[in-house]
């Protein structure tokens, strides 16, 4: 399939630390792609390069055939990229719906902020301040804000953080539904391996800033380098 997003030989350093070391991967249109690895592997750094929060020291990022690195950071959303954050980033003093309106103002998505809140099950708290709401609710608000911008590519940074086993299973079904209902391509960073392997069309694995494996979930689970670096023997496919 045609790649909506291509990360090509990207390197990003922080002083003497190489967070990304000649990393390449593609996200085909319409797929759910998992990006996994241990803490410090470079996953969130990759997200920050894609969304232009960081400029790479080498390499390039291509969105739909155009060099994304020529796009100013404040215009990335208008190119059709939206994201959530590992640590929720909302305006606590604003109402829930006003937080979501920020996404809609950046790029109209065809659905109103209230419609998006209804989709994620939060219409009932639309006019409450975000401050004081449970962490899981805040994560859904952030997702609603991303969806309100009408993205083509949605980056989810550890969406299952803080969820129990049943909630993680429900999240997997929800993310699959997002792809269909919003016609999305999704790049997912997550530590819950059952979630990643259950919903991803393909998976890329980072370790110490380098890509060490790529393939279908089944192929990645059998890869000796992945088993050694991250998954552990109990995750290896039979």
Distance CA 60, CA 67 (A): 7
pLDDT digits (tens, 9 = 90+) for 179-210: 999 999 999 999 899 999 999 999 999 999 99
Has residue 227 got a pLDDT over 50? yes
Query: Who has greater pLDDT, 3 or 161?
Result: 3
Domains along the chain?
Answer: 1-80+153-163+187-238 (3.40.50.300)
- Pairs from 35-38 (Cβ < 8 Å, separation ≥ 24): 35/187, 35/188, 35/189, 35/203, 35/204, 35/206, 36/189, 36/190, 36/191, 36/193, 36/196, 36/203, 36/204, 36/205, 36/206, 36/230, 37/205, 37/206, 37/207, 37/229, 37/230, 38/207, 38/229, 38/230
Has residue 238 got a pLDDT over 70? no
Distance CA 23, CA 72 (A): 22
pLDDT digits (tens, 9 = 90+) for 125-156: 999 999 999 988 999 999 999 999 999 999 99
Task: Return the pLDDT at 223.
Answer: 94
pLDDT digits (tens, 9 = 90+) for 17-75: 999 999 999 999 999 999 999 888 999 999 999 999 999 999 999 999 999 999 999 89
Band the pLDDT of 237: cuts 50, 70, 90: very low
Distance CA 146, CA 149 (A): 6
pLDDT digits (tens, 9 = 90+) for 88-122: 889 999 999 999 999 998 776 678 999 999 999 99
Has residue 5 got a pLDDT over 80? yes
């Amino acid at each position: 399939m045609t790649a909506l997003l291509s990360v090509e030989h990207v390197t990003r350093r922080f002083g003497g630390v190489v967070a990304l070391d000649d990393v390449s991967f593609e996200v085909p249109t319409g797929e759910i792609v998992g990006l996994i690895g241990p803490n410090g592997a470079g996953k969130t750094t990759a997200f920050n390069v894609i969304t232009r929060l960081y400029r790479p020291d080498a390499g390039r990022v291509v969105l739909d055939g155009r060099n994304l690195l020529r796009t100013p950071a404040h215009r990335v959303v208008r190119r059709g990229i939206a994201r959530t954050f590992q640590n929720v980033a909302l305006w606590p003093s604003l109402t829930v719906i006003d937080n979501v309106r920020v996404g809609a103002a950046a790029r109209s998505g065809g659905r109103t902020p209230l419609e998006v809140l209804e989709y994620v099950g939060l219409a009932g708290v639309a006019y409450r301040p975000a401050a004081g709401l449970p962490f899981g609710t805040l994560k859904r608000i952030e997702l609603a804000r991303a969806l309100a911008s009408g993205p083509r590519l949605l980056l989810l940074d550890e969406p299952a953080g803080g969820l129990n086993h049943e909630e993680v299973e429900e999240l997997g079904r929800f993310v699959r539904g997002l792809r269909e209902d919003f016609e999305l391509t999704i790049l997912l960073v997550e530590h819950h391996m059952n979630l990643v392997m259950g919903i991803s069309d393909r998976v890329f694995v980072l370790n110490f800033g380098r890509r060490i494996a790529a393939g279908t979930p089944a192929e990645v689970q059998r890869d000796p380098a992945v088993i050694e670096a991250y998954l552990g023997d109990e995750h290896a496919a039979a």
